[in-house]
Structures are given as structure tokens and as C-alpha cells.
Amino acid sequence: MSEQGTIIEIGSHLWPRYIAIHEAGHAIAAWFLGCDQVEIALANKQRIANTFMAGYVDDCRAVAVYHLSYPQRVTDIEVEY
């Protein structure tokens, strides 16, 4: 997945520009938190967004998808001395 490049899909339905800007804000926040896999998808006329990372997301105009891994246990945290 980290080898995946940029994918741009062009559809016929146009949403207002502010929706993409809003989702870009989510993507920037995810990047700031350390995510290196972030995806933004705009929905079609039926309000369904098709994402590579999460599949189909319904009842939306756009979605930002990201993977952030937090340690689940204290032993998962590596400490360097």
C-alpha cells in the first residue's frame, strides 16, 4: 500500500469546491498526526464515494480516509535508551 501512487478519478458530477477543501483539511490533520496513507474521495450523484482504502462510503458528498496506528498495549511502545 505504501507503494501506491496518486490516483485521480474524474466523474461527471461536480460538488461545490468547499467540500473538497473541507476534506483536504481532514487529510492535512491526519498527515500532521503521522499518517502517510491518506485518501480523499468525492461522491457520485447517489452520494456514494468509492475509496481504495475503505471501499464504498455511502450518504456523503466526500470523505477523507486514513490509517493511523496507535499502540494497543504498553508493550507495543518501543523505547530507545
Question: Cell 447517489 sits at which residue?
Answer: 46
Give the pLDDT confidence score for residue 36 in this predicted structure. 79
Give the pLDDT confidence score for residue 1 in this predicted structure. 47
Q: How far is CA 63 from the centre of its chain?
A: 7
Q: Can you give the pTM of this predicted structure? A: 0.66
User: Do residues 64 and 39 lie in contact, with contact meaning Cβ atoms separated by under 8 Å?
Assistant: yes
Q: Locate the domains of the chain by residue range.
A: 17-76
User: Rounded to whole angstroms, how far apart are CA atoms 32 and 35?
Assistant: 7
- Look up residue 70 and give its DSSP letter: -
DSSP labels for 11-58? -S----HHHHHHHHHHHHHHHHTT-S-EEEEE--TTSEEEETTTEEEE
One digit per residue, the tens of pLDDT, for the chain of length 81 reads 455 556 666 666 788 889 989 999 999 998 888 887 889 998 998 999 999 888 999 999 999 998 877 766 777 777 767
Give the pLDDT confidence score for residue 4 in this predicted structure. 56
